[in-house]
Structure 1
């Protein structure tokens, strides 16, 4: 089975279901002693440059969500980051995003990626849409099982 097609098809379905301008999937890349992520699957992008961006754990939207293992809602990018600080958030700058939600992607109890949904207008990413994004990610994407490790 070609999981590349599966990932791309699934994010396109998520984009349609949420009516997002963009859906992007960043996955952990092999790197010596570092956790780095790359936006590998994107639907609705206006720039191919985003696929070249390498994200460090803890840096940017995806890096922060990956490191913390918690979803993030940014209803208005202008309230989240100053215009002169947007270089720290390449997907916001390159894709001209004004409202985003992101959630960690889990596999076998570990965060292995980040799923981001965004809009090019502010306040369109709502708590309800973010919850839908989270629910869709928990049902599994591609080979990822969506299962967070639970401690009893």
Structure 2
């Protein structure tokens, strides 16, 4: 068992939602290589259903898959504008939680994306640039063994 098990991820997700004053926050964790790096939303606060638990993504698919593949955060003050470049059904967390605006940031461990945190609102324009910055600042100290910036070594 890894040391991160001692962390109460559910409590951390709820704390971020309260501090950001948004409708929904969730944490997706990347599964091991033998599970083909599947990405699953495992913890959530403010969710309207349990559908998020059934979402399984691969690299490059959905919000979590894109953040995993690129290692870069996503800021979408208008979810439908961001998602329409493909199809809204390729973004199941946005549909399941009826998000109108959201931001997602990667969590790194050993210089690889190991988790993704999404924060979203069910009203248009609620996810502001200030909230996006707040999310990025909250993620690093909140999730213990993870960090929010990719380390660059020489």
Describe the superposition over 1:22-43 as per-residue Cα deviations: whole angstroms up to 9, x where unpaired: 0000001135373211000100
Corresponding residue for residue 152 of structure 2: 150
Describe the superposition over 1:18-73 as per-residue Cα deviations: whole angstroms up to 9, x where unpaired: 00100000001135373211000100000101111101111111100111011100
Corresponding residue for residue 75 of structure 2: 73
Check the 8 A contact 2:108/2:147 in 1, yes or no. Answer: yes
Check the 8 A contact 1:10/1:142 in 2, yes or no. Answer: no
Q: Distance in 2 between matches of 1:139 and 1:13?
A: 12
Pair 13,34 (structure 1): closer, same or farther in 2 beyond 3 Å: same
TM-score by length of 2: 0.88
Describe the superposition over 1:74-111 as per-residue Cα deviations: whole angstroms up to 9, x where unpaired: 11112223399211000011110000000001112221
Aligned residues: 152
Q: State which of 46, 53, 56 in structure 2 corresponds to 1:54.
A: 56
Structure 2, unpaired ranges of 5+: none
2:129 is the alignment partner of 1:136:
no
Runs of 4+ in structure 1 off by over 6 angstroms are none
TM-score by length of 1: 0.90
Check the 8 A contact 1:107/1:147 in 2, yes or no. Answer: no
Corresponding residue for residue 111 of structure 1: 113
Structure 1, 81-90 or 128-137: larger mean CA deviation: 81-90
Q: Distance in 1 between matches of 2:8 and 2:144?
A: 6
Pair 142,122 (structure 1): closer, same or farther in 2 beyond 3 Å: same
TM-superposed CA distance for 1:144, in Å, is: 2.6
Superposition RMSD in Å: 2.3
